[in-house]
């Protein structure tokens, strides 16, 4: 999920006239007490416009060939996928609000992190709605921190979990048998394969996550998390990690003078053999890449001993959605074991499921256990044992600013 706090979203905050330290104010709900059965009836025969990042063709294909046919067959809802970056989505939503457009063009959006916070600050979201969803109440662990908070901000029922992500490194065991298990070993790896390792430049979402993962490994998540929202203390605390990245730079592609602009570019360079490592915030992506022939079948995921960053991404409904009923029905369907298992299958997407295994029946558990995860994938229990939380969203731009001022092109 693309999750970059761009200039546009910064402008949204300015326009809202509210500082980042305050609690987001939700938009009022116009249909809090309607029954889900009523939503099912009203949604029949309608179209739901689903806005979200469209930069991954495998994800797009899953939505178009798995999710859309499911909701059409079961609920007579036409799901229309509209690819758009989240900053553009928020800008569009704010523009509709300022124009007084009560029936907007977006019914459902893919969102998380600082973009959710921005949307809440500007009262752009409908809700709370999650308690209206039968599958949310049946299958979701509502006590989970990742269900209660999104990048440190309280959700309050204004978004529903869509999928889980976890950061991994990827190499080809036939080319590089080494498995770096910490930042220091990664440095030695880069020295050995000089010019063949790099990462996307922040604010690319995956590149930013790589930098944060290095900070966690060098400084420690607990130390960073204990700082709170003191941005000056944060800059001081992460300096050892910046020093490490400076040391790493001369051994990177182009000697660290420039960096790939996106994860797509990094993946292409790895697939072409120009690099010996890539990274991903989709822990199961390597299997899909192998299945489609983009990566060699000896490719594999790697994680650090101290852990890797993980997050949850979500679905929300704009406050002025034209088809709230349809959005509720589609989001509820996405929380079914059948759809979550389809999404978990690496041949479709490989996204980690959000359902609580303790709430699943033996037959529902089998939906997941029988899925072949494919080559190069780390088992889910191992991933979860190394899962580290994301930082509060407003700290991420600070880290990206420090990286930009100290790392690229610097000697």
Predicted confidence (pLDDT) per residue in 366-400, tens digit: 999 999 888 999 988 899 899 999 988 888 899 99
Residue 167 corresponds to which tokens in the numbers above? 């950061």
Distance CA 160, CA 144 (A): 13
Distance CA 210, CA 248 (A): 13
Question: pLDDT tens digits for 158-188?
Answer: 999 999 999 999 999 999 999 999 999 999 9
Identify the top-confidence range among 27-31, 141-145, 187-191, 375-379. 187-191
Residue 266 has, within 13 A of its CA and on its CB side, a CA count of 28
**79 in helix, strand or coil?**
strand
Distance CA 83, CA 222 (A): 37
pLDDT at 288: 85
Question: Is residue 23 over pLDDT 80?
Answer: no
pLDDT at 225: 86
Strand partners, 312: 164
Omega cis (within 30) before 201: no
For 109, the enclosing helix (H) or strand (E) is strand 108-111
Residue 255 has, within 13 A of its CA and on its CB side, a CA count of 4
**53 in helix, strand or coil?**
coil
Question: Is residue 267 over pLDDT 50?
Answer: yes
Distance CA 117, CA 119 (A): 5
In angstroms, how far is CA 117 from the centroid of its own chain? Answer: 14
Distance CA 132, CA 120 (A): 19
pLDDT at 114: 82
Tokens 């498995």 correspond to 179
**40 in helix, strand or coil?**
helix
Omega cis (within 30) before 203: yes
CB 299 within 8 A of CB 384: no
Q: Mean pLDDT, to the nearest integer, of 398-411?
A: 90
Sorted by where each starts, the structural domains of the chain and their CATH numbers stand as 7-164+312-373 (3.40.190.10), 166-310+390-406 (3.40.190.10)
**Rounded mean pLDDT of the chain?**
90
Torsion of CA 350, 130, 355, 164, to 10 degrees: 40
DSSP class of residue 125 equals B
For 280, the enclosing helix (H) or strand (E) is strand 277-280
What's the N-to-C CA distance of the chain in angstroms? 33
**352 in helix, strand or coil?**
strand
Torsion of CA 377, 379, 382, 385, to 10 degrees: 100
CA 350, 354, 358: angle at the middle one, nearest 5?
Answer: 120
For 385, the enclosing helix (H) or strand (E) is helix 380-385
Strand partners, 171: 277, 300
Residue 132 corresponds to which tokens in the numbers above? 């209206």
Identify which of 267, 271, 268, 274 has the alpha carbon closest to the alpha carbon of residue 252: 274
CB 108 within 8 A of CB 321: yes
Question: Is residue 51 over pLDDT 50?
Answer: yes
Beta-carbon contacts of 64 under 8 Å, excluding residues fewer than 6 positions away, are: 81
Question: pLDDT tens digits for 229-256?
Answer: 788 999 999 999 999 999 999 999 999 9
Q: Mean pLDDT, to the nearest integer, of 286-291?
A: 90
Distance CA 59, CA 62 (A): 5
Question: pLDDT tens digits for 1-22?
Answer: 544 334 334 343 334 433 333 4
Supply φ then ψ for residue 345, to 5 degrees.
-65, 120
């Amino acid at each position: 999920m693309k999750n970059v706090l761009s200039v546009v979203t910064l402008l949204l905050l300015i326009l809202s006239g509210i500082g980042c330290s305050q609690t987001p104010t939700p938009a009022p709900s116009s249909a809090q007490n309607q029954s889900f059965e009523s939503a099912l009836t009203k949604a029949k025969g309608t179209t739901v416009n689903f806005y979200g990042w469209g930069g991954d063709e495998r994800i797009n294909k899953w939505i178009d060939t798995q999710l859309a046919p499911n909701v059409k067959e079961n609920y007579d809802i036409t799901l229309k996928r509209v690819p758009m970056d989240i900053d553009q989505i928020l800008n569009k939503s704010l523009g509709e609000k300022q124009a007084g457009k009560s029936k907007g063009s977006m019914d459902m959006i893919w969102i998380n992190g600082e973009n959710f916070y921005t949307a809440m600050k500007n009262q752009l979201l409908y809700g709370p709605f999650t308690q209206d969803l039968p599958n949310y109440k049946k299958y979701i662990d509502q006590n989970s921190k990742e269900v209660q908070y999104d990048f440190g901000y309280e959700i309050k029922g204004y978004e529903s979990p869509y999928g889980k992500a976890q950061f991994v490194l990827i190499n080809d065991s036939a080319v590089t048998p080494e498995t770096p298990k910490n930042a220091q070993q990664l440095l030695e790896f880069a020295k050995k394969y000089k010019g063949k390792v790099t990462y996307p430049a922040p604010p690319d979402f995956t590149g930013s996550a790589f930098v944060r993962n290095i900070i966690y490994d060098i400084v420690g998540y607990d130390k960073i998390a204990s700082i709170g929202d003191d941005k000056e203390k944060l800059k001081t605390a992460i300096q050892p990690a910046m020093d490490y990245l400076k040391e790493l730079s001369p051994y990177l592609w182009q000697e660290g003078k420039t960096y790939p602009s996106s994860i797509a570019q990094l993946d292409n360079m790895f697939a072409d053999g120009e690099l010996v490592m890539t990274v991903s915030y989709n822990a199961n992506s390597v299997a899909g890449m192998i299945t489609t022939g983009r990566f060699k079948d000896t490719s594999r995921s790697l994680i650090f001993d101290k852990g890797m960053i993980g997050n949850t991404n979500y679905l929300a409904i704009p406050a002025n959605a034209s088809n709230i009923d349809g959005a509720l029905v589609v989001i509820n369907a996405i929380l079914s074991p059948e759809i979550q298992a389809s999404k978990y299958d690496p041949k479709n997407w490989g996204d980690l499921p959000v359902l609580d295994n303790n709430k699943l029946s033996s037959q529902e558990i089998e939906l997941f256990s029988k899925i072949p995860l494919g080559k190069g994938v780390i088992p889910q229990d191992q991933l979860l044992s190394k899962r580290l939380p994301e930082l509060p969203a407003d700290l991420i731009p600070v880290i990206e600013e420090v990286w930009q001022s100290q790392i690229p092109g610097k000697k």
